[in-house]
Amino acid sequence: MLGVLGLLIICTLVIWFEEPKLRLKKAKQELWLFYTVLAIGMTVSICKTLGLNVPNPSNLSAAIFKPISIFLLHLLS
């Protein structure tokens, strides 16, 4: 639980320092992207801190391309 609290403190500090700069520039798209990426990163970090299983993104690409590679190997052999 202490790890989650530390992550939330760090997230708050990042928002504290970065958000005013983006608001002064009136960068609405960048601000939206900043919060989206920060939320995704915080979600994954909190899950890892709590010991939850977080899937690896490379497993998805392997699942997509493995049947294609098997098909191509079958065609070429």
8 Å CB contact between 15 and 38? yes
The Cα 13–Cα 7 span in angstroms is 10
Q: How many CA atoms lie within 13 A of 76 on its CB side?
A: 6
The Cα 10–Cα 71 span in angstroms is 47
pLDDT tens digits for range 10-58: 999 999 999 989 888 988 899 999 999 999 999 999 999 999 988 888 8
Average pLDDT over residues 65-73: 91
pLDDT band for position 77 (50/70/90)? confident
pLDDT score for 58: 87
